[in-house]
Structure 1
């Protein structure tokens, strides 16, 4: 099945340690890009432009017929099928790949025919959030997502810059997320950057952790000194399973999938399911992966 697509986006609520995958950004960059009272949705141009860069062509949106409910990332094709990496919690309990249509960033819809949930993931336990991973087998090869992206195979994520991508709701650090910040005329993804402050620490096994620092760095909860740059951001509610990318000497690589977040304001924390430790599991489903360090 191949279709062209135009649809509206719906926004979910955020709760502690709940699925959360949108972009909440610095007040200052939002204002610089035209955000303000009565123009809340006008301040995200820089983050939309970041997600639109060619290295992130593999972004996918998961759609239930009415709205986006998740994100994913194409990781390659074999001779018959395409494969999308996403979050296990997108499939609830016993829900199959057919729960969603899978839309490429460029506007093509694919059907899912099979979903593989990570064997360590338990939807009833926060302790397994680092394994909130799934791979969807599509009904045919993906033809409009650029070059096959590699998965990160290094061991040095701590202190590295992540670029977070997805289709979620939007907001600013002082206020959190709200419908007013999203442009319902379109369905473009957005992206932000942040620094990995913790790996496999207090927030659970196989998690990469970031926090949202305010412009002065006074809201940090992990000990860093301030925003990574003007495009600092964190996850909010909306799309689950989008990719967090690391730039390597071999190109941009998928380092993690968006998994959870808390209040989506300054000082909030988000977690991502780490990929570098799970390559054997991914390869067992799709042997054709690429890797980079």
Structure 2
């Protein structure tokens, strides 16, 4: 596995995700029924995405199933075959050498600099539409900052005092948590894991197992997707460990990419399966996954 976007000290690189909770709130308060967010998409093994149209899932590019087309994504308890994957043309695969250097030196600053300039987003077209789940709306505004957002995930857990449980499996039960969005730029939104009175009642952050998991806000019409879990900057005393108070989680900023998302889905609708002339050239990725690069 070469998914370095959520770098943790334990042995080899793993992906971002799961819910790490407050140490002064019982875990039962964070657990929710598996059917509470039916638009949550489970990637094979670990990793998440969100259903945004009957035949479309959006996720972090680094969380795309390694098997690519022909793999299965589970939505609301049902498995759907992947027909095609579209990586954003600005996505950059992080060289393994950067991860190895960080593990050797204990300094992840070069990784952070690399990730900050990558467009970590992908679209997955399903072979068949999802008929029994309402799609998440995309947030199309620019006022995400200071909003309290909700994240969901099924991966490993832990709490802010002791960090993520290192031995937890990366696919467990569904949890939700809230956090206040504290910053953003053109690619990412971020929030900080705060303790005690400085945090919201169900404060929590991503851990290991659910890269690409949705970050959502709610209005009178329901949930809107504002971000996708991507990578973290950890606190100095736990430079390569996840889940401690003070860490900052970076989420792909959906509002930046709505035009790209719309154009890929519209081109597929107009051109059927012959998308090469409309969207871009077909390439073969390093893990032999059939990918098309969008505009």
With structure 1 as the length reference, what TM-score do the two structures score? 0.72
Alpha-carbon distance in structure 1 between the residues aligned to 2:224 and 2:160: 27
Corresponding residue for residue 90 of structure 1: 63
Judge conservation of contact 2:7–2:14 (CA < 8 Å) in 1: no
* Residue from 79, 82, 99 that aligns with 1:112: 82
Corresponding residue for residue 193 of structure 2: 212
Q: 3-state DSSP class of the match of 1:132?
A: coil
* Residue from 149, 165, 168 that aligns with 2:155: 168
Matches within 5 A, 1:24-35: 24-30=20-26
Does structure 1 residue 135 correspond to structure 2 residue 116? no
Judge conservation of contact 1:96–1:114 (CA < 8 Å) in 2: no
With structure 2 as the length reference, what TM-score do the two structures score? 0.72
Q: 3-state DSSP class of the match of 2:25?
A: helix
Corresponding residue for residue 179 of structure 2: 194
Judge conservation of contact 1:14–1:20 (CA < 8 Å) in 2: no
Judge conservation of contact 1:257–1:272 (CA < 8 Å) in 2: yes
* Displacement after TM superposition at 1:61 (Å): 0.6
Alpha-carbon distance in structure 2 between the residues aligned to 1:232 and 1:86: 23
Alpha-carbon distance in structure 1 between the residues aligned to 2:33 and 2:183: 24
Judge conservation of contact 2:30–2:176 (CA < 8 Å) in 1: yes
* Displacement after TM superposition at 1:148 (Å): 2.1
Aligned residues between the structures = 233
* Residue from 262, 273, 292 that aligns with 1:283: 262
Q: 3-state DSSP class of the match of 1:236?
A: strand
* Residue from 44, 47, 63 that aligns with 2:30: 47
Q: CA RMSD in A?
A: 2.6
Corresponding residue for residue 219 of structure 1: none
Corresponding residue for residue 71 of structure 1: 48
Judge conservation of contact 2:155–2:173 (CA < 8 Å) in 1: no
